[in-house]
């Protein structure tokens, strides 16, 4: 692989960059020293980093939270349980996406943040131009789906330099609640579009009203 995200060094020690920025502390990052991992955890970690989900995740933690070891344990939770997550200064981490490229993590973070802000501005201007300031229902639905699938940026680090159990649990709960809310919105939008289509086709969606009282007696034909 010519370019590999989420890998770097601190001095001569190799690290996997789990969070490139700690929330409220952008000068700090969370890493794990890969040389300290046992074989099972190390192999699962490397497989996750090299996978499509690992390379497409803004933070490696998002991928690790959805990846498992051979014995079925969530990698991120196992790293926390074993005390293998360490908070370090971004200026100490040298990112090595390939053998010929080296850049400090603090510098890379600035570049990525500027790129992200630029892309967001371009996207918002394009949406305004396309809809001419109006909320297009299909665009709203698509945006909700994209936002629901975006990785959550950061799980707060506990004061002891490790991720707390409550923080991880709260993060997962927030993701579930957000996805549930978005799903309800999409279902409502889907029903509205279906009703609109039925109206155009002349299909009545109103419930059939039954008259009150006894049904009329059937006429018996001899």
pLDDT digits (tens, 9 = 90+) for 56-114: 998 999 999 999 999 999 999 999 999 999 999 999 999 987 777 789 999 988 888 88
pLDDT tens-digit map of 6-35: 999 999 999 999 999 998 899 999 999 999
Tokens at 26, concatenated: 């952008």
Q: Domain spans of the chain?
A: 7-105, 133-200
Q: Name the pTM for this structure.
A: 0.54
CA distance to 18, 19, 145, per residue, from 32 (Å) = 7, 10, 32
């Amino acid at each position: 692989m010519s370019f590999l995200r989420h890998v770097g060094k601190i001095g001569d020690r190799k690290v996997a960059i789990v969070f490139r920025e700690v929330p409220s502390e952008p000068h700090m990052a969370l890493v794990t020293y890969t040389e300290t991992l046992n074989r099972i955890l190390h192999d699962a970690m490397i497989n996750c980093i090299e996978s499509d989900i690992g390379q497409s995740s803004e933070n490696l933690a998002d991928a690790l939270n959805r990846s498992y070891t051979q014995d079925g344990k969530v990698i991120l939770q196992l790293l926390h349980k074993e005390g293998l997550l360490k908070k370090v200064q971004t200026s100490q981490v040298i990112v090595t996406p390939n053998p010929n490229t080296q850049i400090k993590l603090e510098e890379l973070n600035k570049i990525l943040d500027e790129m992200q802000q630029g892309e967001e501005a371009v996207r918002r201007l394009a949406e305004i131009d396309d809809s001419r300031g109006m909320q297009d229902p299909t665009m709203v639905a698509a945006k909700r789906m994209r936002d629901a699938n975006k990785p959550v940026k950061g799980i707060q680090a506990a004061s002891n330099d490790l991720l707390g159990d409550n923080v991880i649990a709260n993060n997962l709960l927030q993701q579930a609640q957000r996805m549930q809310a978005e799903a309800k919105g999409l279902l409502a939008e889907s029903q509205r579009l279906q009703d609109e289509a039925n109206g155009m086709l002349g299909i009545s969606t109103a419930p059939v009203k039954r008259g009150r009282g006894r049904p009329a007696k059937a006429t018996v034909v001899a």
